[in-house]
Amino acid sequence: MMIKYLYHYHKSLITKVTQIGLIFYVLFKANLGLAGFDYVTVYPTSMSDRHRFELPYTGHFKAINGNSFDVSEYYQPANTEFNISGVILLFLDNGTTIRVDGHFDNGFRSALYEVDQSLSFGLNITKTFENKHLNLGISNLLLFGASVKERACVDDLQRDFHCGTGLPWSDYKGFEIQLQPKAILKWSVYF
């Protein structure tokens, strides 16, 4: 059911993701083939019909005068939400494995809040020595896209304010999506 849904609604998106995977495969195979490169594996690890990043606002807020408001309908998705994660594994014949984790998100669109499509990557290198593995890496290393655009609401006195927080628009500082890089260092010994 999920594959049929994805194919029907995301045919062009799946084509783009497949093309990106094939480009990586060809580039790595061509460039590393003469330098001890053994083989490459590219495969998806997860898919979801939701936006990858959590919405920072619900549309419920309390105004300065104490009145509560529900403008959540302005934060309902107007586009098809979709994200996919995948891995590119590069196996070198010297016992080294290079893992590139990738994540594509189709973005989010609503009347007041938009997030552009995004592509993020992590890098992990594993070196194998007989019965030991050394693993070094950084998750969330690069993020392309995911720019946030927001629009103001207008009250009865024609004043702009932020519908997610109730703050006057001039006091609102904006929201930016940031991935926190995480260092990975792991030493494993097998007996």
Mean pLDDT of 5-26: 50
**Statement: residue 54 has pLDDT above 80:** yes
Please tell me the total count of domains within the chain: 1
- Among the residue ranges 19-23, 76-80, 136-140, the one predicted with the least confidence is 19-23
Task: Provide the whole-model pTM.
Answer: 0.72
pLDDT value of position 5: 39
**Statement: residue 17 has pLDDT above 80:** no
Question: What is the 3-state secondary structure of the chain?
Answer: CHHHHHHHHHHHHHHHHHHHHHHHHHHHHHHHCCCCEEEEEEEEEEEECCCCCCCCCCCEEECCCCCEEECHHHHCCCCCCCEEEEEEEEEECCCEEEEEEEEEECCEECCCEEECCEEEEEEEEEEEECCEEEEEEEEEEEEEECCEEECCEECCCCCEECCCCCCECCCCCCCCCCCCCEEEEEEEECC
The domain in which residue 150 lies consists of 2-189
